[in-house]
Chain A
Amino acid sequence: MPQSLTKIPAGMKYYLGREATLRRSIEQTALSVFAGWSYEQIVTPAVDYYALFELGMGEEAERAFRFTDSDGRLLALRPELTSTIARAVATLFSKRPRPLRLCYAAPVFRQQPPSHTEWRREVTQVGCELIGRNSQAADLEVLLVASEFLRNLDLSGTFVITLNDLEIFNGIAADLNLYSKLRHELRELIDLRNAADLETFLAPFDPHGRVREFTQLLQLSGKREIFEKARRVITNPRSTLALANLESLWITIEELGLYEYFDVDLADISRLDYYTGLTFKIYVEGVGVRIGGGGRYDSLIGNFGMAEPAVGFVVEVDPLAELLRNDRHLTQEDKVEIVEVGTRDLSAVFGDAMESRVRGKQIVINFSEETTCLS
């Protein structure tokens, strides 16, 4: 075989045996939690128009694998599922009663910059979307689904979900009247927690001490005490409202006894362009990058017709599979019954085999030398 066919393209991988089982088991854990909260499974096309992803993801869509359709239009292998689902919701499922609860486990494809930590170009995502409700109850439902999934993987005590509301940033930024390039730069500096460069950046825009509002944002991460501190520096009405919403969400989380799984991080400004309110990210000890995240995207679906609110999240299976590969609970194998072929008649051998299968046993047919020769 030519060398080019024995080599696997960068970022692609085979999975076998325990590793494959574990991945499936993580997917099943997610799907069974989703089903438990009455989310319906949705299967989306793996190929779609590039313009669809560009609309949803902004410049991150550039990482999609692209190729042209026979009519010349640009296609892409899906780099995520939310945009595709949003389109289906506004068109195919527009007559279905709301709220719609949809979930999936499916591979997505992304090209990676050479130095990036994530080398895989195909990763499996599990996620869910709750469509048609803009309420704290909907936000909370999705957060609880996410935390139940992680707890069911025995990750209690090692994961954290960080919460933020983008409207807090939007409220402060709106006053600055930045054009999009500068707004992008501002987001970047906050995202990097880069206080020194942020101050330099803001200096020309600072007639009323807004620098302080922004630089304080960077340090506002923690639990309940954050809200008290944040109220002292955040004064505009839009941000104040968002902060109050986030606080009331937090109080409910505390009342449910779930605060150990969550943190507030007001500097966590998501890069995906479609989020509008609540955003969250998921981190697990032992994985150097976030394993998932989500949030509210109330304007995405409107791009395809009917505007309606939505909230959802996604978790990547691949880093979890690597982390959990020694977890016996998820990879345990059933007891196996060995059915010997020997010199027996094949009808007797497979009669035994079928009988064991009826009892639900895992079997393995042990071929004798002779049968191998026959084939």
Chain B
Amino acid sequence: MSKLTIAIAKGRLQAEAVQLLSDAGLSLSPADLASRRLTTEDQSGQYRFIFVKPSDVPVYVEHGNVDCGIVGRDVLLESEASLLQPLVFTIGKCRIVVAAPHGWSNNGGGLLRVATKYPRIAANYFGSRGQPVEIITLSGSVELAPALGLADCIVDLVETGLTLRENGLTVFEVIADSSARLVFNRASYQLKASAVRELIIALAARSTRQAQNYD
């Protein structure tokens, strides 16, 4: 059977994703995980793993250099890559929200300034509601923007809400719920069908859907 290459998003999701894979019988040796190598194989030799920045997972998978990946829905929405998404996992849960200082009201009147690491998600969200916005793209610490007067509100990822609260921000609207997903390249999905099927069955137990649907 063809070997599959799986991209795993580094950072927030990585430990949970590795745990999920090992629960499904795809074990990585602790030595490999501890090393700084960016690519490794599972102990059966049937899967190869690469570790890349979350936003690079859809890029590798869409080009087909990597067959599949585990990545958050937030990253997928922002990348707009055309990938198959057969499984939704329960790990990496968070929400993409509109947050602003207490007392803010979005009356839909004037031009709204929105600071975010997710310019496409923000533009699509306000665009679909017909609201004119100025999107200000930042690469981190977005919570600062309203306090410093750079933006009226922010679009950001929230897990516990603690960072927001500590910076005097409140969630006003939830744009989308996010959790990790298994994504596939469209060509790999067809050309390596039996290996793909085996992986989906192995991982379905940890998804939001029941494994028996994949009999």
Contacts and interface: CB of A to CB of B under 8 A. Distances in A.
Contacts, number: 73
Interface string B185-199: 111111101000000
Interface stretch (B14-22, B166-174, B206-214): B206-214
A195 interface: yes
Interface string A266-300: 00000000000000010111011110000000000
B208 A288 contact: no
Contact of B62 (A117, A195, A263, A287): A117
Interface in A108-147: 113, 115, 117
A285 B191 contact: yes
B214 A219 contact: yes
B65 interface: yes
B13 interface: no
Contacts of A281: 190
From A162, A195, A219, A221, name the one whose CB has the most chain B CB atoms within 10 angstroms: A195
B81 interface: yes
A219 B88 CA distance: 15
Nearest to A197: B88
B40 interface: no
B190 A196 contact: no
B64 A289 contact: yes
> How many interface residues does chain B have, given as a range?
20 to 34
Contacts of B59: 115
Contacts of B184: 193
B125 to A, nearest CB: 16
Nearest to A219: B214
A192 B181 CA distance: 12
A215 to B, nearest CB: 7
A212 to B, nearest CB: 9
A316 interface: no
A156 interface: no
Contacts of A193: 84-86, 184, 189
A29 to B, nearest CB: 21
A361 B65 CA distance: 43
A290 B62 CA distance: 11
B9 to A, nearest CB: 17
A283 B187 contact: yes
A160 B190 contact: yes
Contacts of A290: 186-187
A160 B191 contact: yes
B63 A288 contact: yes
Main secondary structure of the interface of B (DSSP, over half): mixed
Contacts of B79: 115
A192 B64 contact: no
Contacts of A221: 190, 193
B83 interface: yes
A160 B83 CA distance: 19
A65 to B, nearest CB: 21
A234 interface: no
Given A265-B190, A288-B187, A196 B87 contact: yes
Contacts of A158: 191
A283 B192 CA distance: 11
Contacts of A283: 186-187, 190-191
A11 interface: no
Given A288-B65, A289-B64, A196 B193 contact: no
B209 A288 contact: no
A222 interface: yes
Contact of B83 (A192, A265, A284): A192
A289 B213 contact: no
From B64, B81, B207, B214, name the one whose CB has the most chain A CB atoms within 10 angstroms: B64
A371 to B, nearest CB: 50
Interface in A192-227: 192-197, 199, 215, 218-219, 221-222
Given A160-B191, A219-B214, A288 B83 contact: no
A117 B187 contact: no
Interface in B78-123: 79-88
A222 B207 CA distance: 23
A162 B190 contact: yes
B80 A113 contact: yes
A343 to B, nearest CB: 57
Interface in A321-343: none
Nearest to A159: B191
3 closest cross-chain pairs (CB), A and B: A288-B64, A196-B88, A194-B85
Interface of A: 113, 115, 117, 158, 160, 162, 192-197, 199, 215, 218-219, 221-222, 263, 265, 281, 283-285, 287-290
11 contacts: A117-B81, A194-B84, A195-B209, A263-B193, A281-B190, A283-B190, A284-B191, A288-B65, A288-B185, A288-B187, A290-B186
